[in-house]
Amino acid sequence: MADRSVATTDTFEVFRTTYNSTGTDVGDISTLGNSFSGTATDLVEGVNKNTTTIATLPSAGFSIAMAVALG
């Protein structure tokens, strides 16, 4: 995941594209819990690859939330 920041002097367009890029890095949260065996290209795929049971999904969601919040 890339380290991104938006300066207070940046335009709304810079903020918008940075925000969208961060969303791409996180992935589609609705697919959390689906099986995944390929090479992970986003955070959700990485969690899905390492999550083996439905019981670990609450902690997986927390892991994603913390990663996004802390950058």
Half-sphere exposure of 38 (CA within 13 A, CB side): 6
Q: Give the pLDDT score at 14.
A: 93
H or E stretch including 57? helix 57-70
Give me the residue label for tokens 């990485």.
Answer: 46
pLDDT at 46: 80
Q: What is the pLDDT along the chain (71 residues), one digit of tens a residue?
A: 457 888 999 999 999 998 888 888 888 878 877 777 888 888 788 877 776 555 555 666 666 666 666 65
The residue extents of the domains of the chain are 28-70
Dihedral class, residue 33 (left if φ above 0, else alpha if ψ from -120 to 50, else beta): left
